[in-house]
Amino acid sequence: MRGSLFALLISTLLGCPCSASAAEPVKHIGIYVQPYYEAALDPGGRPRVSVYKRIDGLLASNSREDIAAARDVVAANPKFISPMTMMVLAIRLYDVGLRDDSVFWFYVAKDRYSEVLEVIDVEAAGLSPGDAVKSFAILAGPFINGYAFCDLANQQKLRQQALAWVENNPYETIFTGELPARPGDRHENQRRAIEKAKSAAEKERAQFDDPKYVEAYYATRKKNEMDAKFCW
């Protein structure tokens, strides 16, 4: 996880929302995970993107229309779109203010990556981008979830929509035979990944049925001034 640790250090320098600075609206996810994504130091600058040549240029734009166009390309033909590409899409959607879309694609990226882990022998495959996906999840998660949990009902709706989307749009790369598989049938392992994701999502949802948990959770958010940072 050296990539994750390095990227975590960089994100801190660029302004992680967990920092002790005075609460201000967080409108830019200032992280990078080399060599795939490097946020601009200035929110008005252009990030460097290298995840999917067809849409790298769109993802590097600061135009909401361009980022929406990149989203539409992914949605129209998602069979071979990597979780890493979806992570970068989620970051850029956040940056241009399409934050519900950002939450949706962030969860989709995580669930699609869970398919990879359940089906593919990532160590045998030498999948270095796997660490990058983890780094993106670790670094972008506080920003995207910071917004998502402003409205618990909306967060749960988006979480369920993402799960359903991943179930209905399997990641075809894991079935091609080009990557070494874990023991068992690939399709059965993929279905198990979906069931595990559903179980994890249900456990998360059930936590919020406990009033004490909700009280403690939102007390922590208040202490960290999360509403001022993300609920605007």
| 102-123 pLDDT per residue, tens | 999 999 999 999 999 999 998 8
Which residue is it, tokens 């989307």?
165
Q: What percent of the chain has pLDDT over 70?
A: 89
pLDDT at 1: 39
Rounded CA-CA distance 205/223 in Å is 22
Tokens matching residue 148: 């998502």
Residue 130 has pLDDT above 80, yes or no: no
d(CA 49, CA 173): 22
Distance CA 191, CA 167 (A): 8
Element containing residue 51 per DSSP (H, E):
none
Provide the pLDDT confidence category of residue 196 given band limits of 50, 70 and 90: very high
**pLDDT score at 108:** 98
Average pLDDT over residues 159-180: 96
Number of domains composing the chain? 1
Whose structure tokens read 């595990």? 196
**Mean pLDDT for the stretch of residues 7-11:** 37
The rounded mean pLDDT for the chain is 90
**Per-residue confidence (pLDDT) for residue 165, from 0 to 100:** 98
Report residue 100: phi and psi, to 5°.
-65, -40
CB atoms within 10 A of CB 56: 17
d(CA 10, CA 128): 19
pLDDT band at 95 (very low <50, low <70, confident <90, very high): very high
116-133: average pLDDT: 83
Give dist(CA 95, CA 90) in Å, integer. Answer: 9
**Residue 131 pLDDT level (bands cut at 50, 70, 90):** confident
Domain coverage including residue 27: 2-230
Residue 74 has pLDDT above 80, yes or no: yes
pLDDT(8) > 80: no
The residue written with tokens 């990058």 in the block is: 132
Tell me the one-letter amino acid at 11: S
C-alpha to C-alpha distance for 205 and 107, rounded to whole angstroms: 14
